[in-house]
Amino acid sequence: MPDWLTAQTFVSVHVFFIMVHVILLTVAYLIYVERKAASYIQDRVGPNRVGFDFGLPWLKPLRGMLGLGQPLADGMKFLLKEDYAPDRVDKKLFTLAPMVMIVPALIGFAIIPWGGTIVLPDLDLPLIGTMEGGPIVIAGLHVNVGVIYLISVATLSVYGVTLGGWASNNKYSFLGGLRCTAQMISYEIPLGLCILAALLLVGSFLPEEIIGYQRDHGWLIFAQPLAAIIFFIALLAESNRIPFDNAEAEQELVGGYHTEYSSMRFALFFLAEYAHMITGCAFFALLFLGGYELLPFVSVFPAVAEGSILAVLGIAALKFAVFFGKVLLLVCFMILIRWSIPRLRYDQVMMMGWQAVIPISLVLVVLTSTMVYLGLGGVVPMFIANAILAVVIVALVPVLPRTRTNQRLPLYGSRFCPVTGSTVQTGPTDPLAREDRPLQGTVTA
Amino acid sequence: MLHPLTTLASQPNVALDQYLPLAVIIVGAVGFAVANIVLTKIIGPSRRGANKGMSYESGMNPVGTARKRFNVRFYLIAMVFLVFDVEIIFLYPWATTFPNLDPANPDAGIWLFRIFFFLFTTIVAYVYGFRKGVFNFD
């Protein structure tokens, strides 16, 4: 066996390639689940025709099947459609953009320790000889930078959005790409600060140690509930999900940065979006929901699986099932949000990001570091501190100065028109605009 | 005074061969992307036309190019993002070493104060941007 091929490398590469397939399959069926959920919420039936009969008479029993063959049919169709680039696009960048989008989405989840740490016995493998056993982590990549890798790789997909919008040479694409870039980089900051607030308690970058801390001290969602909420909001904004999907606001921007894309290039954008959702939810589960631990304050699985090869692989599979179950629940929650909440306006998204979420997460980091300094880094003091901060925020909201821009226009006859006799509060400050609008002061009749 | 932090920082064993799977992973991911695009180019049909080659702008004939000047606000966001992002990156190493310090260490307060000063400079930048109206979108 060659020197450079350690057990960790061997296992990592295999885990990664298994997980890529698992995640791509999950993505395909997530799209199906999303369509089904949407149709039930909107009182429709949704996809229910495509089974696995492929139109063949002797496979008739496989027809229908609740439309479970739909993802396969969609994938085939993406592959068979024309890969078209309009005349004015920048051909090179136009082809590059979906690749730049999909590569980070595929390699980002590599550090997630799906199966925890196992002690692998010595193995005799065909072709490569005896592999020396030892403790290894069931993850695609086990590096000392840990979560930093995930943050930095996931951020790279911003380039895909920017390039896609720019290369299309279409005004809608360009605006969509610009908006999306600005939104993604804005919500990167609260994302980073919330990870910081969690890491301040853990004191390590390594995913295994983050889970280990949560095994000993309870899940971080109890110690840092505010950070968890802000992290989830930022995740929604990062993966361009409703209520933050201004990049492809259909009423304003047609399809956003992928307006001009077709066939597999469009499918890669689509895949990347869903793969990002799964990566993000796995990150959330890792940081705040205890990773592969089943219960919040009780440890069910052994921290390090030891024993025969079957036993350790069994425990790793169980841990993976728990971890992936949490990820699927979170993704379903995202889907539920998508079909329940209307889209925010773009200026509302950005103002929420810069004027609310970022200051709150900054205060949270200061608060957490002070608590750690005072030796109050446990679950109960941190929960109380978070609760106090939440109360202070809610109490401060009415006191803060309010912006007058983009508020309701008190146009006479509109549904925003104030009640007769009440004083009109909002109005343009520009004197010229004031002349245009007679409705200022008190509403008479 | 540097002693506790430097010893903690030197603990993780930096071995480059742990990044070996990353090379395989990147090759796999790029291969996936390239293979898909090449496949659909080969399998799918290919027809061109004057109207088909037009940009889709809601069914209107496109006027001019999209390579135009755009709102300066996006530049401002990018600049403020840089300020914050660089700050956060500097905070990560501190966040992993600070909780591991001995609570009885008399220098812990100094380390905390230094980071607070570092955060304070960013907050000054934030307040300046706020007063300048960088975060107002209208």
pLDDT in tens, A252-284: 777 778 888 888 888 888 888 888 889 999 999
Instruction: List the single range of A64-68, B14-18, B48-52 with lowest mean pLDDT.
Output: B14-18
- CA–CA distance from A2 to each of A5, A9, A241, B101 (Å)? 6, 12, 46, 40
- Res B13 pLDDT > 80: no
Which residues of B fall within a CB distance of 8 Å from A152?
A: none
Per-residue tokens: A224: 């840092």
Residue A387 CB partners (closer than 8 Å, separation 6+) = A225
Preceding omega of A243 cis (within 30 degrees of 0): yes
Contact A106 B28 (CB under 8 A): yes
Per-residue tokens: A168: 């299309």
CA distance linking residue A89 with residue A166, whole number of Å: 9
CA distance linking residue A226 with residue A239, whole number of Å: 20
CA of A444 vs chain B CAs: smallest distance (Å): 30
Contact B40 A406 (CB under 8 A): no
The average confidence (pLDDT) of chain B is 80
Residue A199 has its nearest CB partner, among B52, B70, B95, at B95
Q: Using one digit for the tens of pLDDT, what is the confidence trace for B75-102?
A: 888 888 888 888 888 888 888 888 777 7
Which residues of B fall within a CB distance of 8 Å from A264?
A: 36-37, 39-40
CA distance linking residue A173 with residue A186, whole number of Å: 20
Tell me whether residue B4 is in a domain.
no
Contact B14 A144 (CB under 8 A): yes
Residue of B nearest to A83 (CA): B41
Per-residue tokens: B86: 């660089």
Residue B109 has its nearest CB partner, among A365, A372, A373, at A373
Contact A107 B29 (CB under 8 A): yes
3-class SS letters over chain B: CCHHHHHHHCCCCCCHHHHHHHHHHHHHHHHHHHHHHHHHHHHCCCCCCCCCCCCCECCECCCCCCCCCCCCHHHHHHHHHHHHHHHHHHHHHHHHHHHHCCCCCCCHHHHHHHHHHHHHHHHHHHHHHHHHCCCCCC
CA of A102 vs chain B CAs: smallest distance (Å): 7
Residue of A nearest to B117 (CA): A366
Residue B65 CB partners (closer than 8 Å, separation 6+) = A88, A169
Contact A268 B88 (CB under 8 A): no
Per-residue tokens: A19: 């997980």
Contact A188 B85 (CB under 8 A): yes
CA of A40 vs chain B CAs: smallest distance (Å): 30
ipTM exceeding 0.90, yes/no: no
Contact B81 A12 (CB under 8 A): no
- Our CA angle for A272, A275, A278, nearest 5°, is 155
Residue B127 CB partners (closer than 8 Å, separation 6+) = none
Contact A263 B30 (CB under 8 A): no
Partners of A131 in the beta sheet? A123
Residue of B nearest to A205 (CA): B96
Residue A252 CB partners (closer than 8 Å, separation 6+) = none
- Percentage of residues in chain B having pLDDT higher than 90: 2
Q: What is the pLDDT of residue A232?
A: 93
**Tens place of pLDDT for every residue, chain A, 445 residues?**
666 677 788 888 888 888 888 988 999 899 899 999 889 988 888 888 887 777 777 777 777 778 888 888 888 888 888 888 888 888 888 888 898 889 998 888 888 888 888 888 777 777 777 777 778 888 888 888 888 888 888 888 889 888 888 888 888 888 888 888 888 899 999 999 999 999 988 888 888 888 888 888 888 899 899 999 999 999 998 888 878 887 777 777 777 788 888 888 888 888 888 888 899 999 999 999 988 888 888 888 877 877 788 888 888 889 899 999 999 999 999 999 988 888 888 888 888 888 889 999 999 999 998 888 888 878 898 899 999 999 999 998 888 776 665 555 556 566 666 666 666 555 555 555 555 555 555 555 5
How many Cβ contacts (< 8 angstroms) between chains A and B?
A: 222
CA of B2 vs chain A CAs: smallest distance (Å): 18
8 A C-beta contact, residue A235 and residue A143: no
**Pairing outcome for strands A304-305 and A123-125:** unpaired
Reported pTM: 0.86
Residue of B nearest to A94 (CA): B37
Contact B54 A201 (CB under 8 A): no
CA of B50 vs chain A CAs: smallest distance (Å): 9
Angle, to 10 degrees, between the axis of helix A147-155 and the axis of helix A91-107?
A: 160
- Res B11 pLDDT > 50: no
Residue A366 has its nearest CB partner, among B12, B47, B116, at B116
- Residue B84: give the domain boundaries: 72-131
Query: What is the number of alpha carbons within 13 Å of residue B5 lying toward its C-beta?
Result: 13
Number of separate domains in chain B: 1
Per-residue tokens: A25: 């399959």
3-class SS letters over chain A: CCCCCCHHHHHHHHHHHHHHHHHHHHHHHHHHHHHHHHHHHCCCCCCCCCCCCCCCHHHHHHCCHHHCCHHHHHHHHHHHCCCCCCCCCCHHHHHHHHHHHHHHHHHHHHHCCCCCEEEECCEEECCCEEECCEEEECCCCCCCCCHHHHHHHHHCHHHHHHHHHHHCCCHHHHHHHHHHHHHHHHHHHHHHHHHHHHHHHHCCCCHHHHHHHHHHHCCHHHHCHHHHHHHHHHHHHHCCCCCCCHHHCHHHHCCHHHCCCCHHHHHHHHHHHHHHHHHHHHHHHHHHCCCCCCCCCCCCCCCEECCCHHHHHHHHHHHHHHHHHHHHHHHHHHHHHHCCCCCCCHHHHHHHHHHHHHHHHHHHHHHHHHHHHCCCCCHHHHHHHHHHHHHHHHHHCCCCCCCCCCCCCCCCCCCCCCCCCCECCCCCCCHHHHHHCCCCCECCC
CA of B12 vs chain A CAs: smallest distance (Å): 7
User: Nearest to residue A86, comparing CAs of A158, A178, A172, A175?
Assistant: A172
Best probe of the A interface among B5, B13, B30, B40, by most A CBs < 10 A, is: B40
Per-residue tokens: A150: 């995930």
Contact B57 A347 (CB under 8 A): no
Query: What is the number of alpha carbons within 13 Å of residue A433 lying toward its C-beta?
Result: 6
Per-residue tokens: B12: 């993780």
Residue A99 CB partners (closer than 8 Å, separation 6+) = A160, A268, B30, B33, B34, B37
Contact B28 A17 (CB under 8 A): yes
Per-residue tokens: A189: 């900051």
In the numeric block, the tokens 């804005």 are attached to A186
- CA–CA distance from B71 to each of A1, A40, A179, A222, A317 (Å)? 59, 41, 11, 42, 51
8 A C-beta contact, residue A265 and residue B37: yes
Tell me whether residue B3 is in a domain.
no
Which residues of A fall within a CB distance of 8 Å from B58?
A: 172, 254
Q: Domain segments of chain A: what residues? A: 26-80, 87-399
Which residues of B fall within a CB distance of 8 Å from A144?
A: 12-14, 18
Tell me whether residue B15 is in a domain.
no
Q: What is the pLDDT of residue B8?
A: 47
**Pairing outcome for strands A117-120 and A304-305:** parallel
Tell me whether residue B17 is in a domain.
no
